[in-house]
Amino acid sequence: MENEVDTNENTLIRSTPCEVCGARMLWSQGAWTSASQSAACYRCDNGHTTDPADTPQCPRCGIHDTERRADADFSCARCQFRFPRPVPAG
């Protein structure tokens, strides 16, 4: 089927390496801290993190392995779904 997503792949490892050092990126709970909040984000083996705002959850398949496109939309590395930039909560 054309729109099927392979759910057997490891969805915790980001498809692109760390922008700082090139190491693998792993989805980590509570790795992003800001003021009095913590959030899940990608963290590399050397401790570099990505801002969770830069990897919003894909509305189609539910993973965060997404990247911002030149047109300000996002695309999912898993299912290739394109979606608009999420509106910040609040």
Residue 18 lies in a domain: no
Residue 75 lies in a domain: yes
What is the pTM (predicted TM-score) of this model?
0.78
pLDDT at 62 over 50: yes
Residue 70 lies in a domain: yes
* Residue numbers of the domain that contains 60: 25-83
Query: Per 3-state DSSP, what percentage of the chain is helix, strand, and coil (rounded to 5)?
Result: 5, 30, 65
Contact assessment for residue 52 and residue 61, using Cβ atoms and an 8 Å cutoff: no
Separation CA 56–CA 83 (nearest Å): 10
Structure tokens at 54: 């830069």
Confidence band (pLDDT; 50, 70, 90) for 71? confident
Residue 41 lies in a domain: yes
Residue 19 lies in a domain: no
- Quote the number of domains for the chain: 1
Residue 2 lies in a domain: no
